[in-house]
């Protein structure tokens, strides 16, 4: 009986020692790897580049609110004109093109002349909420839940008109959560396993 108690105490001690000596992963390394994967990535107003000048029918085009918000923010110049014919009748068309202020915020698409987008800021992971290792004892892969923010958001993004026209911009001005899969490479450094960006 005494031998069993001694054996149980020894095993408990060994387990506690092994657990205590287990190396904790530095969350700062995870954050560094996630931020490295964000390098060169900015938030943009539209999911795809648009062509300018843009002609928009205010009575039909669902994108009118977006163009109007950017015109109100001073990024677009708006020219309204009546167009039509004897048979069809006339209709109002707005033409939007870059203002001087808009030129400084516009990111041209190098693959499509005349196309571009308003892009700004950069993503920054700020804290690890949870890091879950894979099933191995010495894990080289983790699923990391983290918080992030978009830094460098210009004032025109924060206007009520922009927030209403682009709901995603409202989310970009707050702290958000996302998940990434990280893997340790042969040099012992952590890296995001595949290109991953918050949605």
Tens of pLDDT along 52-106? Answer: 999 998 888 788 999 999 999 999 999 998 776 555 567 889 999 999 999 999 9
Instruction: Give the span between the Cα atoms of 53 and 61, in whole angstroms.
Output: 15
pLDDT for 44 beyond 50 = yes
Name the phi and psi angles at 119, rounded to 5: -120, 150
For the residues of 70-138, what is the DSSP string, one character each?
A: HHHTTSEEEEEEEEEETTTEEEEEEEEEE-HHHHHHEEE-TTSTTEEEEEE-EEEEEEEEEEEE-SSTT
Lowest mean pLDDT among 12-26, 30-44, 73-87, 99-113: 12-26
H-run or E-run covering 44: strand 43-44
What would the mean pLDDT of 3-32 be, rounded to a whole number?
A: 59
Taking alpha carbons only, the member of 155, 164, 132, 150 closest to residue 197 is 150
**pLDDT (tens digit, 9 = 90+) per residue, 142-179?**
999 999 998 988 988 888 888 889 888 877 778 889 99
pLDDT at residue 23, as a whole number: 55
pLDDT at residue 15, as a whole number: 46
pLDDT at residue 7, as a whole number: 42
In the chain, what is the greatest distance between 2 CA atoms, to the nearest angstrom? 108
Evaluate whether 96 touches 56 at the Cβ level (below 8 Å). yes
pLDDT at residue 8, as a whole number: 46
């Amino acid at each position: 009986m005494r031998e069993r108690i001694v054996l149980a105490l020894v095993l408990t001690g060994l387990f506690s020692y092994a657990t205590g000596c287990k190396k904790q992963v530095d969350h700062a390394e995870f954050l560094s790897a996630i931020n490295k994967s964000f390098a060169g990535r900015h938030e943009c107003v539209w999911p795809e580049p648009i062509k300018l000048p843009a002609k928009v029918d205010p009575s039909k085009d669902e994108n009118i609110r977006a163009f109007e918000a950017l015109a109100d923010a001073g990024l677009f110049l708006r020219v309204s004109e009546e167009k039509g014919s004897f048979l069809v009748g006339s209709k109002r068309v707005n033409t939007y093109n870059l203002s001087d202020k808009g030129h400084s915020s516009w990111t041209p698409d190098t693959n499509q002349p005349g196309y571009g987008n308003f892009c700004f800021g950069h993503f920054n992971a700020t804290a690890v909420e949870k890091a879950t290792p894979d099933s191995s004892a010495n894990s080289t892969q983790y699923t990391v839940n983290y918080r992030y923010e978009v830094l460098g958001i210009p004032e025109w993004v924060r206007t009520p008109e922009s927030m209403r026209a682009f709901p995603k911009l409202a989310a970009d001005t707050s702290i958000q959560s996302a998940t990434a899969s990280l893997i340790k490479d042969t040099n012992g450094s952590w890296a995001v396993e595949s290109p991953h960006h918050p949605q």
